[in-house]
Amino acid sequence: MKLTTLLSVGIAASLFAGNALSQAILTAETGPPGTVPFTAMTTLAEIAASEEVADFQVADSQTLTNSLQNVAEGKTDVSGAPLILTFLMSKGAGPYAKLGKDAGAELISNVRALYTYNYGGFGLYAYNSASVKGWDSVKGKTILNGPPRGAALTNSRGILTLVSGVEEGKDYKGIQVNWGQMAKSISDGSADGMMLPITFPDNRITRSLAAGDITLWSVPKDIWEGEGMQKYISSPGTSGIVFDLKDLPPQKGLTIVSEDGIWRSPTTVAAEVVNKSMDFETAKALTATMLKNVDAFLNKAPYMATTNMGKTDQAISGLCGAVPIKYHPGSVAAFEEAGLTVPDCAKPSP
């Protein structure tokens, strides 16, 4: 595990602080640098330490499928978690099939959310020199579609099936690599195209442009408005992201294709999650820290601006319905003290 200890001076200082919260040293797991989960977690760690709420030891470039299980088992204090993973764990399905339904349901009952946010979109892209020329040219090709397991891979496969009508292993060859190897695998020609999570701008695409110009395709409008896609973006842990491409600054070497200039794609809704055993005051303080500094989160990187950090609206937060986790009681208190309404279905049982 790669361990990055943040703000060690703050940790040392906290040993002499009178405030009990400032003495907390929390372990955390997150995704690779240059991504929404990484930026969300490290921003929380930086601000929480500076405000003497808690100090963090953050392990980055983790597979969040494993990180969620670590939180559920009490091995890690805080982690980012796509909400689809909480649903899959509760069913003992997908990457948690080895757990079984009973063990999965028991584990997820230990997990609570501090707050939610969106990761970005999903897109098909390829070098202009490659054989993939759009959604209708994927059949028979090799597609890089995520890490070996987890929510990103599940979503990438599902979206490609919905838009292109293809199935991995039957109609195309899917390859997976760990996040830390992703940029190299994109640029070395291992795949004909990529079906991956993206942000605006996207760090992996930006780095890969050094090897050649790239085209990125939005979900076609007719498929977006169809019953299948609308049902998909209403599924656990998923919603839609739609915006005018004119709102994006141009990026040399990148062409974004949409028939009407509007970007459309599913987006993953995630949460910063903790074990239910986290004490009330720590959970409340961490959530309040985010709310008080929400502009710092949204402005930390260009791709953070559309993450809906700090929103509690049910349609945006992704909680309730088939998603099995609720907010931590301390988080509910922080939201309500900030004047935000928390839906009853997202509150934990008394």
Asked whether residue 126 falls in the same domain as residue 260, the answer is: yes
Of 244, 267, 290, the domain-final residue: 267
Quote the pLDDT of residue 171: 97
How large is the average pLDDT for residues 70-80?
A: 98
The yes-or-no verdict on residue 157 having pLDDT over 80 is yes
**13 pLDDT higher than 70:** no
What is the pLDDT, as a whole number, of residue 188? Answer: 93
Q: Do 51 and 183 sit in the same domain of this protein? A: no
* pLDDT > 90 in the chain, percent: 73
Between residues 223 and 11, the one the model is more confident about: 223
User: What is the band of 76 on the pLDDT scale with cuts at 50, 70, 90?
Assistant: very high
197 and 285 in a single domain? The answer is: no
Residue 337 amino acid letter: E
pLDDT band, very low/low/confident/very high, at 63 (cuts 50, 70, 90): confident
Are 217 and 125 in contact, with CB atoms under 8 Å apart?
Answer: yes
Q: Residue 124: beta bridge partners?
A: 195, 217
Domain that holds residue 291: 4-119+271-346
Residues 136 and 248 in one domain: yes
- End of a domain among 208, 241, 267? 267
Name the amino acid, one letter, at 206: T
The token pair that represents 342 in the structure block: 């928390």
Specify whether 240 is located in the same domain as 126.
yes
CA 138 vs. chain centroid, Å, equals 25
Cβ-contact 145, 195 below 8 angstroms: yes
Q: Tell me: the pLDDT tens digits for 233-284?
A: 888 888 888 889 998 888 999 999 999 999 999 988 999 999 999 999 999 9
Q: In this structure, are 91 and 149 located in the same domain? A: no
Q: Which of 30-44, 151-165, 307-321, 333-347 has the highest mean pLDDT?
A: 333-347
- 128-147: per-residue pLDDT in tens? 999 999 999 999 999 999 99
My answer on whether 253 and 336 are in the same domain is no
pLDDT of 183-222, one tens digit each?
899 999 999 999 999 988 888 999 999 999 999 999 999 9
User: In terms of pTM, does the model score above 0.75?
Assistant: yes
- Structural contact between residues 40 and 56, judged by C-beta atoms closer than 8 angstroms: no
- Provide the mean pLDDT of the chain: 91
Contact status, residue 346 vs residue 314, Cβ threshold 8 Å: yes
Residue 315 has pLDDT above 50, yes or no: yes
Q: What is the mean pLDDT of residues 6-26?
A: 49
Tell me the average pLDDT across 218-233: 95
* Together in a domain, 150 and 246: yes
User: With pLDDT > 70 as the criterion, what percentage of the chain qualifies?
Assistant: 93
For the chain, the three-class secondary structure string (H helix, E strand, C coil) is: CCCEECCHHHHHHHCCCCCCHHHCEEEEECCCCCCHHHHHHHHHHHHHHHCCCCEEEEECCCCHHHHHHHHHCCCCCEEEEEHHHHHHHHHCCHHHCCCCHHHHHHHHCCEEEEEEEECCEEEEEEECCCCCCCHHHCCCCEEECCCCCCHHHHHHHHHHHHHHCCCECCCEEEECCCHHHHHHHHHCCCCCEEEEEECCCCHHHHHHHHHCCEEEECCCHHHHCCHHHHHHCCCCCEEEEEEEHHHCCCCCCEEEECCCCEEEEEEEEEEEEEECCCCHHHHHHHHHHHHHCHHHHHCCCHHHCCCCCCCCCHHHHCCCCCCCCEECHHHHHHHHHCCCCCCHHHCCCC
Give residue for tokens 């973006």.
Answer: 233
pLDDT exceeds 70 at position 333: yes
- pLDDT for res 316: 84
Per-residue CA distances from 205 to 149, 198, 208, 210 (Å): 21, 8, 5, 9
- The pLDDT of residue 199: 87
Position 163 pLDDT exceeds 80 = yes
Please check whether residues 278 and 261 belong to one and the same domain. Answer: no
Q: What is the pLDDT of residue 179?
A: 83
Three-point CA angle 210, 213, 219, nearest 5°: 125
pLDDT band at 36 (very low <50, low <70, confident <90, very high): very high
**Is the confidence at residue 329, as pLDDT, over 50?**
yes
Condensed to tens digits (0 to 9), the pLDDT of residues 86-120 reads 999 999 998 999 999 999 999 999 999 999 999 88
- Stronger pLDDT, 1 or 203, i.e. the higher one: 203
Shared-domain flag, residues 20 and 96: yes
pLDDT of residue 4: 45
The CATH number that applies at residue 130 is 3.40.190.10
Amino acid 24: pLDDT: 80
Supply the pLDDT for residue 23.
57
What is the pLDDT, as a whole number, of residue 6?
46
Count of the separate structural domains present in the chain: 2
**Are residues 181 and 107 part of one domain?**
no
Confidence of residue 21 (pLDDT cuts 50, 70, 90): very low
Same domain, 17 and 102: yes
- Phi first, then psi: give them for residue 267, nearest 5 degrees: -130, 150
Q: Which of 240, 267, 294 is the last residue of a domain?
A: 267
In single-letter form, the type of residue at position 71 comes to V
